[in-house]
Every structure is written in structure tokens, then in C-alpha cells.
Amino acid sequence: MTTLALDTPVLARQYEDLSDKQYNHGKLLLGDLGLGRGQRVLDVGCGTGRLTEYAAGLVGEEGWVVGVDPLPLRVEIAKRRGAANLLFREGRSENLRDFPADSFDAVFLNSVFHWLPEKAGSLAEAYRVLKPGGRLGISTASRERPHALERIVQSVVERPPYAAHPVVSATTPYKVTSAELAALLERAGFRVRSLEIRSFVDHFDNPATVIDFSRSSSFGNFLGTLPAALRASAIEEIKSELAKLRGPEGIVLTRNLIFAVAEKLDPSPTTRSTT
Ligand SMILES: C[S@@+](CC[C@H](N)C(=O)[O-])C[C@H]1O[C@@H](n2cnc3c(N)ncnc32)[C@H](O)[C@@H]1O
């Protein structure tokens, strides 16, 4: 079970420093969304706001971008960003009540969807706040093609003594397949415009950086279902496995992400079924 209670100032700062991977694939997602000048955009699960700030550059002074995230320490870092068309506040995907219906041209969740235990409520909220014809962009880990790190971590936690403590998922806990994501989007009333898996090859200097990246990206949830002492020894075993992979280009790991863009149809399925 993921908790939002494990974030710390150190993890939040590390995320700001180590999140180039999310930032770079997030730029691709924003490219897919085709953000234009003057648009109103919502970044759901904005973290420390790096990609939100980039989106603000794309929409220009005539547009504006809001970032929401449930982690106060990350929102605090995000709020230090200076752009006049950029706003941050604490908030969660499943409750966007601060925002009126039909108010955004685009909503995006970059590396957030796999942290949401329940998807339908969040998609319903994204649908509600989007204008008719507005677009939702999602990048999320794919269940059908796990990251290389997932397989390494899984191989360790399946060993004794860790195996006695079930780990829901070695890395991101609530992954979907492409087919599941398409079905969820359609059920929420969206028309899927594009959906594909893209692979990214990451280079890490050493095993400790992989662990710092995983802990900060998971806001402290990495191996969180293991008791603390076991978690520490599992991390040492994972580091040993990662060290075996180290070559001239460092530790090379592949991530596979689903990228989806969907459009809000109007009227909503509820309206359609009652008229
Ligand atoms: C890996 S970070 C991605 C941050 C940012 N989108 C980026 O691209 O750098 C995952 C983020 O999901 C956020 N998150 C977790 N549960 C959430 C929820 N229920 N609603 C909105 N965001 C959530 C976390 O707080 C965290 O900042």
C-alpha cells in the first residue's frame, strides 16, 4: 500500500535533483499533447514542478499552468519557481474540486498514474475539469513490459527472508496494461487519440544513485512493505545485483512507459445515457 506520509525534505530535494528522467519523458508527453500558446493547463501530481514550469513556457504569458500535488514538501519547492503564469497548490487527482468544470484545455499526469490505487475517480475529475474537446495526457509504467529495475528488485524480494513479506510491486505499485488504460479512458468518456509504449535507456553512475532515484521517485515507498531492517539488507542485495551490471557506460537500465493522449467527448456518457 502506498502512503503519502513517508516523504522527507531530503527525498523532496533529491527528486528535484534526480528527476531528469521524468522531466525528459514528460517533455515528450507535452509534445504529444500539442500545448499551444494561450492555453490553460493542469499538471496533476506535479511533484517539484519542473515539468509544470516547462509547460508554462509552452503556453506563454497569454496562458497559465497550475500544478497540484499531495506532498507539501514538493509543492514548497515548486512554489519557488518564478514564472508569472504558474501556480502551485496542494491537491490530489481524485479531488480537483478547487477547479470548476470545463476550465482547462489540457490536463496531464506524468509518472503519476501508477501511484494511484483507484483510477476511475481521478479520470472522472480530469474529465470534469477539461473543456469539451480538451486533452488528457498520461505517461505511466506499463504492466505488460516492466522496467529492468523491477525485474532486478523482484528477483531479490522473492528470496528468503524477504519473501515472507509480500511486496505488492517491486517498484511502481498500481501499473496498468495498455489495454486496461484504453478501457479506463473510454469508460470515463474519453476518446483515445494515441496510445503506445515507449522505451527509455537510462544510465546511472553507481548502484547508490539507482536507489536514491527509486526512493525519491516513490516518495519513500520503495520496498516500504518490508520491515526497516529487512529493507536495509534487501537494498544492499539490490545494490550488489546492480553492481554486476556496471560497464563502461555505467549501469544501463531500460524503462517502458505507456504514453496516452485522450480527448474529452461531449456530452459525457452519463448525459448520453439519460437523454
Ligand atoms: C514520480 S513523481 C512525478 C512528479 C512529476 N509529475 C514529474 O513528472 O516529475 C509522482 C508524483 O505523484 C504524486 N501523487 C501520488 N499520489 C497522488 C494523487 N493521489 N494525486 C496526485 N498526485 C499524486 C506524488 O506526490 C509525486 O509527486
Alpha-carbon gap, residue 192 to 260, rounded angstroms: 7
Q: Which three cell numbers stand for residue 214?
A: 527509486
For residue 19, give the ligand 1 atom closest to its CA.
9
**Ligand 1 centroid vs 38 CA: distance in angstroms?**
25
pLDDT tens for 52-111 read 999 999 999 999 999 999 999 999 999 999 899 999 999 999 999 999 999 999 999 999
Alpha-carbon gap, residue 101 to 122, rounded angstroms: 14
Alpha-carbon gap, residue 72 to 16, rounded angstroms: 14
Ligand 1 contact, 105 CB (< 6 A):
no
Confidence of residue 225 (pLDDT cuts 50, 70, 90): confident
Ligand 1 contact, 71 CB (< 6 A):
yes
Q: Which of 38, 23, 60 is nearest to 131 (CA)?
A: 38
**Residue 200, in any domain of the structure:** yes
Ligand 1 contact, 181 CB (< 6 A):
no
- pLDDT above 70 coverage of the chain, percent: 95
- Average pLDDT taken over every residue of the chain: 94
165 or 196, which is more confident?
Answer: 196
Domain count for the chain:
1
pLDDT score, position 224: 86
Longest CA–CA span in the chain (Å) reads 64
pLDDT over 80 (residue 268): no
Confidence of residue 274 (pLDDT cuts 50, 70, 90): very low
* Tally of CB atoms within 10 A around 57: 13
pLDDT score, position 1: 78
Average pLDDT, integer, range 209-225: 94
**Residue 141, in any domain of the structure:** yes
Query: What CATH number should be reported for the domain holding residue 126?
Result: 3.40.50.150
Confidence of residue 270 (pLDDT cuts 50, 70, 90): low
**Ligand 1 centroid vs 143 CA: distance in angstroms?**
18
**Residue 2, in any domain of the structure:** no
**Residue 251, in any domain of the structure:** yes
pLDDT score, position 266: 72
Ligand 1: which of 2, 115, 125 to mutate, judged by most atoms within 8 Å of the beta carbon? 115
Let me know: does 251 contact 211? Beta carbons within 8 Å.
Answer: no
**Residue 275, in any domain of the structure:** no
pLDDT tens for 162-186 read 999 877 666 899 999 999 999 999 9
pLDDT over 90 (residue 25): yes
Let me know: does 19 contact 50? Beta carbons within 8 Å.
Answer: yes
Bond into 161 cis (ω within 30): yes
**Residue 274, in any domain of the structure:** no
**Residue 164, in any domain of the structure:** yes
Expressed as residue numbers, the domain containing 240 is: 9-267
pLDDT score, position 166: 77
**Residue 273, in any domain of the structure:** no
pLDDT score, position 272: 46
122 phi/psi in degrees, rounded to 5: -70, -40
Ligand 1 contact, 14 CB (< 6 A):
no
Our separate counts of H helices and E strands in the chain read: 10, 7
pLDDT tens for 74-89 read 999 999 998 999 999 9
Ligand 1 contact, 74 CB (< 6 A):
yes
Alpha helices in the chain (DSSP H): 9-18, 20-33, 50-59, 72-78, 120-129, 148-157, 178-187, 207-217, 228-244, 269-274
Which residues are bridge partners to 65 per DSSP? 41, 86
pLDDT over 60 (residue 271): no
**Ligand 1 centroid vs 47 CA: distance in angstroms?**
5
pLDDT over 50 (residue 238): yes
pLDDT score, position 171: 83
